């Protein structure tokens, strides 16, 4: 019966940036979103089509070093404030300045963006396995998922009003991050958030910073014609796909 059919939901996917296999991530996210055929999606490589984002029920982003204009930052902040839901992934909070052989710097160039997201990426140790623990095991977004190990970039972030973030996944780490300008993480808070919720007005953001991926041709702008190792990281484990599926259901307004 027609009354049982779900209504159309308009959504927006931003997949773009540098140093990552954006084509791979975009395709994987499209597969997951296609499990909800009533979701009608617009896809872009940046955040500048603010009218289309504002007309959407939810936003999904997988980006690296995409720096929205101030106009876009404010418009998306206002959209979240009015009830929008934003599933932010991996490098959404990153701005990177690479000038080899100098270390990577992370300029504080989008304060509105960082404050809205609650974090800004600063550094990560070399890709290696690390444990992921549940910070709120009773929350449906992570309930029933056993603690797991993943081989990924461990994001070390600058927090904005950390007390306003609702941690869902976490890990503990202290050490150094060679290759980054801000490389000394030996005396910081050892607890780093992997996934969290952040309320803003009537809306909410779900941030999951796992999901690095890189292919053979994603470092050519740094003079690396053929990157030797294909990196898929958390995309290769079932827990990550389950977290993404739950995140999409959350973006649709579901509670389980």
Q: 131-137: long-range contacts at Cβ-Cβ below 8 A with a sequence spacing of 24 or more?
A: 131/171, 132/169, 132/170, 132/171, 132/194, 132/210, 132/239, 133/169, 133/170, 133/171, 134/168, 134/169, 134/170, 135/167, 135/168, 135/169, 135/170, 135/193, 135/196, 136/166, 136/167, 136/168
231 lies in some domain: yes
Q: Residue 87's domain is classified under what CATH number?
A: 3.40.50.880
User: Partners of 87 in the beta sheet?
Assistant: 60, 206
Find the domain containing 39 and state its range. Answer: 2-251
What pLDDT shows up at residue 1?
A: 40
Mean pLDDT of 196-205: 98
Mean pLDDT of 208-216: 98
Least confident span in 60-64, 103-107, 156-160, 221-225: 221-225
6 lies in some domain: yes
Q: Which two tokens stand for residue 40?
A: 């009608």
256 lies in some domain: no
User: How does pLDDT run across 3-29, given as a tens digit for each residue?
Assistant: 578 899 999 999 999 999 999 999 999
User: How does pLDDT run across 65-81, given as a tens digit for each residue?
Assistant: 999 999 999 999 999 99
Measured CA distances, 56 to 61, 158, 206 (Å)? 13, 29, 16
183 lies in some domain: yes
Strand arrangement, sheet containing 58-64: 39-44, 9-17, 58-64, 85-89, 203-208, 191-200, 165-172, 128-134, 148-152
191's enclosing H/E stretch is strand 191-200
Q: Are 210 and 242 in contact (CB under 8 A)?
A: no
Q: CA 125 to CA 230: how far, in whole Å?
A: 18
User: Partners of 205 in the beta sheet?
Assistant: 86, 198
* Number of domains making up the chain: 1
Reported as a pLDDT band with limits 50, 70 and 90, residue 245 is very high
Q: CA 110 to CA 107: how far, in whole Å?
A: 8
83 lies in some domain: yes
What pLDDT shows up at residue 3?
A: 57
> To the nearest whole number, what is the mean pLDDT of the chain?
97
Whole-prediction pTM: 0.97
Return the percentage of the chain with pLDDT > 70, whole number: 99
Cβ-Cβ contacts under 8 Å for 82 (sequence gap 6 or more): 201, 202, 203
């Amino acid at each position: 019966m027609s009354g049982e059919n779900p209504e159309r939901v308009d959504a927006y996917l931003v997949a773009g940036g540098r140093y990552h296999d954006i084509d791979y991530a975009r395709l994987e996210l499209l597969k997951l979103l296609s499990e909800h055929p009533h979701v009608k999606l617009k896809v872009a490589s940046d955040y500048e089509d603010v009218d289309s984002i504002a007309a959407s029920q939810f936003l999904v982003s997988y980006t690296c070093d995409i720096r929205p204009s101030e106009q876009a930052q404010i418009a998306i902040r206002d959209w979240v404030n009015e009830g929008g839901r934003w599933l932010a992934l991996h490098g959404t909070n990153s701005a990177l300045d690479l000038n080899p052989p100098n270390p990577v710097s992370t300029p504080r160039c989008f304060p509105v963006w960082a404050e809205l997201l609650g974090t800004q990426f600063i550094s990560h140790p070399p890709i290696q396995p690390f444990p992921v623990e549940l910070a709120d095991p009773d929350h449906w977004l992570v309930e029933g998922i056993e603690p797991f190990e993943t081989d990924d970039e461990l994001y070390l972030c600058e927090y904005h009003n950390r007390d306003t973030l609702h941690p869902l996944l976490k890990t503990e780490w202290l050490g150094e991050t060679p290759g980054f300008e801000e490389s000394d993480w030996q005396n910081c808070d050892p607890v780093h958030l992997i996934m969290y919720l952040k309320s803003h007005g009537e809306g909410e953001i779900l941030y999951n910073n796992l999901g690095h991926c890189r292919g053979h041709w994603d470092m050519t702008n740094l003079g690396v014609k053929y990157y030797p190792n294909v990196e898929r990281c958390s995309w290769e484990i079932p827990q990550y796909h389950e977290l993404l599926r739950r995140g999409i259901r959350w973006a649709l307004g579901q509670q389980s």
